[in-house]
Structure 1
Amino acid sequence: MTRKVSYLLSAGLLAAAAVPATAQEEDALLQELAKMRAEMAQMAARVETLESELAETKAQAETNAANVQTVAVAEPASDTSIEFKGTPQITSEGGWSFKPRGRLQYDAGVVDAPDSTGREDGFGNDVRRARLGVSGDIPGGFGYKFEVDVANSDLIVTDAIISYETGNVDVQVGQFNNFQGLEELTSSLHTSFIERAAFTDAFGFIRRVGVGVTYGEGDVLVQGGVFTDNMDRLSNQNWSANGRAVYMPKFGDTQLHLGGSVHYRSYEDGNTVRYRQRPLVGFTSERFINTGNLGAESETGFGVEGAMIAGPFHAAVEGRWQNLDMPLGMDTSNFFGGYAEVGYFLTKGDTRGYKGGKFDRTKPANPVGEGGMGSLQLNLRYDRLDLNDGTIIGGTQDGYFASLVWKPTDYTMLLANYGRLEYGDAVFPTATGSRDYGADVFAVRAQIDF
């Protein structure tokens, strides 16, 4: 197109030059025309060069854009994944993970004891647990867990654990539950009654600061540890050691559990212990059996445990013997606690959870929100606590319990619990002086966790 313009201009100039002129003027005009043509030829060449460079630049830009798109498509996906387990659990292929965790349990009910004992009974309610925390993994086989309980406006550290796992061995350092039996190690989220068996609280099973080691391979689990006191009462004087062994074979759909544990605790000079227990629920402060404060040098405990899960049915039994060594000149005292329970799911396809030597989360086969009603479980339990031995009359408590547990979803639960407590040698006599009488308890719990 540029050349055509150049030729037209040249033709026009030549036509103009056709006007008569002198020879000298004609030579000058021809020279000027030749110069102009040369300059126009140079301009045309420059324009062609610029057009060529523009085309190359456009082609390069299109190529670069295609390469960028290819890179974006080929870029590998992030190695971080988010899985929902009550709350988001963030996991990285590099070995990091993080999960917020918590639970809220609200209890309410009625305790009915003989009026003439003078004990406060009637309606009661309580935020039984309100826990918040985090847990996760750290590259290299390490892990962490930290939880606090803020129920009743008190801030209490429950678990504060640093762990290390290698092969079949798991090491824990910090504050956590000691290895004192099936009932105690089963989370409060997954128990079949509103409270654990009476002996677990009476014999002082609490979280303590220490070091624990767990070895598990196949059907065998062995646990042991050395501990001081709970984090809020560290004295660095009292210490204890716990050991537990579990055999947990599975035959088809039937899970068996057989175990035993041993506990030893040494007390500093001048210490006392007290064994006592509430009537089933935690929202009353009354304790109808109580040894009072006893001088203590050490205590030794022995426990046996057994359980079975077969489809909708489960059974569990546990016994604990607690021996208290008292100061010189006083006899050793022996106390006992234990329970036996059975349970059955009334909803089709449901079974009790079990994992790592303890009962675990029940996951309804047909939860609410997915066309079902969740799981419904009926449980019965006999619970015995004997705090009498020799000259020590702390009383006996025989509990006959029934519970109905409804789990609409994996992380929600409603529980109704009835208990009949029969007391012998109770601490508080009636108006007639009798220490043998009964009390009735009815309680409900609403629970959610994440």
Structure 2
Amino acid sequence: MKFLLPPIALLAAACLVPAHAEVPLGTVAGSDVAFEGMFQVDGYWFDNDVLDLDARPDGRDRATGVRRFELALKGSGPGGLGWVLGYDVYNETYLDNNLTWSFGGDGAPKHTLLFGQSKQPNSLEELSSSRNNDFIAKAAATSTFATGRRLGASWGYDAEDHGATVSWFGRNLDDDAGGAGYGARGWWAPVREDGRVLHLGLSHVDRDTEADALRLRARPNADMAAVRMVDSGALADVDRLATTGVEAMWISGPLKLQGEYFLASADRIGNPGYDASGGYASALWTPGGGTWGYRGGLPRTSVADAGLWQFGLRYDQLDLDDGAVRGGRMEAWTVGVNWYWRNNTKLMLNYVDVASRRTDPATGARIDDDPSILEARVQLHW
């Protein structure tokens, strides 16, 4: 179901939705059931250089529309059992759909077994909640290398200041992201206090490819851009892809510093291997004394009162050039501001400055393409 809702109507709806994280629906068969949702409307204004990032037949230099409309039912209990059923109505894709069993805790390490579809254990940015993203678009490296939701099973271990997750996965429920594999992520917080956290993490995902094919490419930090600025092209001889990620985060009161680096290595059949890499570093500042929580190896944004402001800066880079594969290189600076108008309503404004270079496959000529983008988002969540 594809539709548009003007931002003014979305803001009006925000006034009617209860300002808390979820809507309780009662208890069914001993399970406390709640309803959650998130609705995002985006607007992008492109200052093109070489490529037409909008690429619409009407020649407009902007794109506006719904980005996500996510709905989820969640249940907790009894006996440590939990479940979730999630669907993105606008993009017509399945979200988390799984059953969990947790045991331990209360001063002892907590163990969680999960069966079904969930995000795989890689990337601090990918695993963090989408409703509290620091910037409108994830870093190009995260979007390119992180393995998203897949069907499978996992075991998680959480001892509060350290933990780990190990998973096995196959396709997803939409049947469009093949390649079975395994993943693992470990994290350690040598400093973990109220308003002060040092987080270090390491992840690795190794997966098969669908029909020995692989293509890595990325948009210029604009989710609705019509074209990719860097592109490895279709590689038809890749047996497996292994991606290793390192992550670090420092929270000190109103300041959060965060960074990740990824190295992806493709095992090719009859050709030298192909390596691609990328990463980002970001800073987010919350004036007025706000800070972040920390649980399960992830930052937790707390919006106790309406009117919370956040100011952010991010640098990210992506390198898809290696040997005969000339996928291109891209760097981007993003400046952003977030305002939680109400506890359940978030307004975002980003400015992205991109510098890229790639090789024209037809002529072999180098193409420098340096656009800029103004981005806005209105988000309602409950």
TM superposition score normalised by structure 2:
0.86
Matches within 5 A, 1:121-140: 122-140=61-79
Percent identity of paired positions between Structure 1 and Structure 2: 27
CA distance in 2 between partners of 1:96 and 1:351 (Å): 32
Matched, 1:352 2:271: no
Aligned to 1:413: 346
| Deviation of 1:91 (Å) | 6.0
Residues 1:324 and 2:266 aligned together: yes
Aligned residue runs from structure 1 range 122-271, under 5 A: 122-151=61-90, 154-167=91-104, 168-203=110-145, 205-233=147-175, 238-248=179-189, 249-251=191-193, 253-267=195-209, 270-271=211-212
Counterparts in 2 of 1:332 and 1:90: CA distance versus 1, 3 Å: same
| Paired amino acid for 1:240 | G
Distance change in 2, residues 1:288/1:210 (3 Å): same
* Contact 1:149 1:157 survives alignment (8 Å): yes
CA distance in 2, matches of 1:258, 1:280: 25
For residue 136 of structure 2, give the secondary structure of its aligned residue in structure 1: coil
Listed as ranges, the gaps of 5+ residues in structure 1 are 1-82, 368-373
Aligned length: 353
Secondary structure in 2 aligned to 1:394?
Answer: strand
- Counterpart of 2:337 (choices 398, 404, 408) is 404
Q: What's the CA shift for 1:200? A: 2.1
SS at match of 2:342: coil
Question: Alpha-carbon deviation of 1:428?
Answer: 8.9
1:437 counterpart residue number: 369
Residue by residue over 1:50-101, the C-alpha shift from the partner in whole angstroms, topping out at 9 and shown as x without a partner, is xxxxxxxxxxxxxxxxxxxxxxxxxxxxxxxxx9844432566995211011
Contact 2:332 2:354 in 1 (8 A): yes
Shift of 1:188: 1.2
Given that residues 240 and 263 in structure 1 are in contact (C-alpha distance below 8 angstroms), is that contact kept between their aligned partners in structure 2? yes
Deviation by residue 1:170-214 (Cα, 9 ceiling, x = unmatched):
011111100012011011111110011112222262210000111
Asked if the contact 1:396–1:426 (Cα under 8 Å) also holds between the matched residues in 2, the reply is no
Structure 1 stretch 419-428 or stretch 308-317: which is displaced more? 419-428
Q: Which amino acid aligns with 2:92?
A: L
- Equivalent in the alignment of 1:99: 34
- 8 Å contact from structure 1 (residues 259, 306) kept in 2: yes
Deviations 1:324-372 (Å, cap 9, x if unpaired)? 0111x201111101000111113x12113432211223314x42xxxxx
Aligned partners of 1:132 and 1:148 also within 8 Å: yes
Rounded to whole Å, the distance in 2 between the matches of 1:101 and 1:427 is 46
Within 1, Cα distance between the matches of 2:272 and 2:154?
Answer: 32
Q: Which of 320, 323, 333 is the matching residue for 1:387?
A: 320
Counterparts of 1:97 and 1:84 in 2: how far apart (Å)? 19
Aligned equivalents of 1:193 and 1:97: distance in 2? 33
Change (3 A) 1:323 1:199: same
CA contact (8 A) 2:99 2:116 kept: yes
- Max Rg structure: 1
* Higher deviation after alignment, 154-163 or 391-400: 154-163
User: Following the alignment from structure 1 to structure 2, what is the Cα–Cα distance between the partners of residues 230 and 183?
Assistant: 20
The 3 A distance-change label for structure 1 pair 126 and 118 is closer
The verdict on how the C-alpha distance between 1:139 and 1:130 changes in structure 2, with shifts beyond 3 A counting, is same
The whole-number CA distance in structure 1 between the counterparts of 2:111 and 2:132 is: 25
SS of the counterpart of 1:183?
A: helix
Aligned AA (1:403): G
TM-score normalised over the length of structure 1: 0.74
Q: Which has the higher contact order (CA 8 A, sep 6+)?
A: 2
Greater strand share, structure number:
2
- Partner of residue 108 from structure 1, selected from 31, 43, 63: 43
Residue of structure 1 in register with 2:107 after alignment: none
When residues 436 and 271 of structure 1 are mapped into structure 2, their CA distance, relative to the original with a 3 A threshold, is same
Deviations 1:224-246 (A, max 9, x none): 100001111179x7311000001
Does the C-alpha gap of structure 1 residues 272 and 94 become closer, same or farther in structure 2, counting only changes over 3 Å?
closer
For 2:156 and 2:111, the matched residues in 1 are separated by 6
Going from structure 1 to structure 2, the CA distance change for 1:447 and 1:234 (only over 3 Å counts) comes to closer
After superposition, residues 20-59 of structure 1 pair within 5 angstroms as none
C-alpha contact 1:190 1:359 (8 A) present in aligned 2: no
> Which structure has more helix as a fraction of its residues?
1
* Aligned counterpart in structure 2 of residue 279 of structure 1, from 220, 230, 245: 220
Is the alpha carbon distance of 1:189 and 1:196 closer, same or farther for their aligned partners in structure 2, counting shifts above 3 Å? Answer: same
| AA partner of residue 381 (structure 2) | D
Residue 125 of structure 2 aligns to a residue in which SS?
Answer: helix
What RMSD in Å do the two structures reach over aligned CA positions? 2.4
